[in-house]
């Protein structure tokens, strides 16, 4: 159990740092107030978790420890529902409804599509 906790924790640490770097880069690169960093992290993480679970379906390509490290740890730390929720709350408070609906729709729809694409790509390769 301790090994699993350390795997998830170290994956979460790396994922959280990567999310911070993605958000920092997006904020520096774009002058928009739209939360592009959160959207990019959520879509990329969704794509990656699709790849992880598709690899896991293939049998011995990804063992349980790697799944815990990558899916629960890294993807859990990298994707960010709390930031997504806070961004939406801020847009509601500021009464900017078009970006609000773009953010909600983009994260939900594109996230599901990204998971599906990750699975499809692995199925095509293997």
3 state SS for the chain? CHHHHHHHHHHHHHHHHHHHHHHHHHHHHCCCCCCHHHHHHHHHHHHHHHHHHHHHHCCCCCCHHHHHHHHHHHHHHHCCHHHHHHHHHHHHHCCCHHHHHHHHHHHHHHHHHHHHHHHHHHHHHC
pLDDT tens digits for range 62-79: 888 999 999 999 999 999
Verdict on whether the full-model pTM lies above 0.75: yes
pLDDT in tens, the chain (126 residues): 999 999 999 999 999 999 999 999 999 999 888 999 999 999 999 999 999 989 888 877 888 899 999 999 999 999 988 888 989 999 999 999 999 999 999 999 999 999 999 999 999 998
């Amino acid at each position: 159990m301790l090994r699993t906790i350390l795997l998830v924790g170290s994956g979460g640490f790396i994922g959280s740092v990567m999310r911070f770097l993605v958000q920092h880069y997006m904020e520096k690169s774009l002058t928009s107030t739209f939360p592009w960093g959160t959207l990019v992290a959520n879509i990329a993480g969704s794509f990656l978790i699709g790849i992880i679970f598709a690899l896991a379906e293939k049998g011995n390509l990804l063992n349980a420890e790697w799944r815990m490290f990558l899916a629960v740890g890294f993807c859990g730390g990298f994707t960010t529902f709390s930031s997504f929720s806070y961004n939406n709350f801020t847009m509601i408070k500021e009464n900017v409804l078009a970006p609000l609906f773009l953010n909600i729709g983009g994260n939900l729809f594109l996230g599901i599509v990204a998971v599906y694409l990750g699975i499809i790509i692995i199925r095509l390769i293997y």
